[in-house]
Amino acid sequence: MIKVGIIGSTGYAGQELVRLLLGHKEAEIVWYGSRSYIDKKYSEVFANMFEIVDDKCLDDNMDELASKADVIFTATPQGLCASLVNEEILSKVKIIDLSADFRIKDVSVYEKWYGIEHKSPEYIKEAVYGLCEINREDIKGKRLVANPGCYTTCSILSLYPLVKEGIIDPNSIIVDAKSGTSGAGRGAKVPNLFCEVNESIKAYGVTTHRHTPEIEEQLGYACGEQIMINFTPHLVPMNRGILVTAYGNLKKDYTYEEIKAVYDKYYKNERFIRVLEKDVCPETRWVEGSNYVDVNFKIDERTKRVVVMGALDNLVKGAAGQAVQNMNLIFGLPESMGLEQPPMFP
């Protein structure tokens, strides 16, 4: 059994990690970390775990945890993992970080967009960007994995085949994305109150959202050059889900069959990426509670652009599910283990 410790287990992504790992036949949770609820029973924080989890919440002592676990998930705000990790810890345990601390390879870009000093830049180069469908072989056996962001996972996977194959001009990309409110975390914030969010939709982080450089960096690797995109996120009144609609200029005329063949080339054998039938648009309700990503595209012959669409559950494939997928790869387990639940509806 893989012994698992979770730092930040009482956030939305942390709780989703607990839910998924409780159903994983090769994993055992040995540490429910939560700075806010130390010594409180986990089932008192999340009553859905009543008579399922009897453990009490512990602190975020990564030094102690490293001696008890085989892998540590850090589902914490930016900066915490980087402030705790060191060589002694990494010599004992694998770390899968759900924050952005090790996603961006240029420390100056990280510090500019996140507004904090990076506490352990010496590990940035070593960290593997944990987008499993693209970096699968690089993730296997590694000791430090940077779990991608939710918007970025949906944006990159939706666009990757077209960028990789040079179908579109990568500097023409516009990403319009929507997220459910759980993407903002569990902390109490006035803009996320029911009365503030319900019956409304709003753009936020316009031209400044922190996932922008992450998308640019990863798609830049795909096409072999630095790129610049427009990314605008929106908050919608639902619990879960990411919907991305992205636009790119086609470099020449393509038929539907030609572009479909490109998507099939990359995703036909991917367990968790579903390329939908022609003219079927992805919807968040059909991926909810699952590790699936639904993608599709539509050619706009009038404007010579392609419209790409993607949908995922921000707490599963956009966070905890992808983290478990990374754990499976690190330890040589079947990649889909613990993640085979079909989407739930309604």
What was the pLDDT predicted at 8?
97
> Which among 228, 227, 318 has a CA at the least distance from the CA of 13?
318
Q: Phi then psi for 340, rounded to 5 degrees?
A: -90, 10
The verdict on whether 57 is a catalytic residue reads no
pLDDT digits (tens, 9 = 90+) for 318-331: 999 999 999 999 99
Evaluated on CA atoms 44, 191, 242, 133, the torsion sign reads negative
Question: Coil, strand or helix: which one is 222?
Answer: helix
Judge whether residue 147 has pLDDT over 80.
yes
CA 27 to CA 41: how far, in whole Å? 21
CA-based radius of gyration for the chain: 20
57, 81, 150, 223: which one is catalytic?
150
CATH code assigned to 151-313: 3.30.360.10
pLDDT digits (tens, 9 = 90+) for 225-277: 999 999 999 999 999 999 999 999 999 999 999 999 999 999 999 999 999 99
Print the SS3 string covering 118-149. CCCHHHCCCCEECCHHHHHHHHCCCCEEECCC
CATH 3.30.360.10 boundaries in the chain: 151-313
Amino acid at 223: C
Residue 204 in contact with residue 233, Cβ under 8 Å?
Answer: yes
Asked if the 2-126 domain carries CATH number 3.40.50.1820, the reply is no
Whole-Å CA distances, 71 to 62, 142, 245, 287, 295: 11, 11, 35, 27, 31
CATH 3.40.50.720 boundaries in the chain: 2-126
Q: Sorting pLDDT into bands at 50, 70 and 90, what band is 79?
A: very high
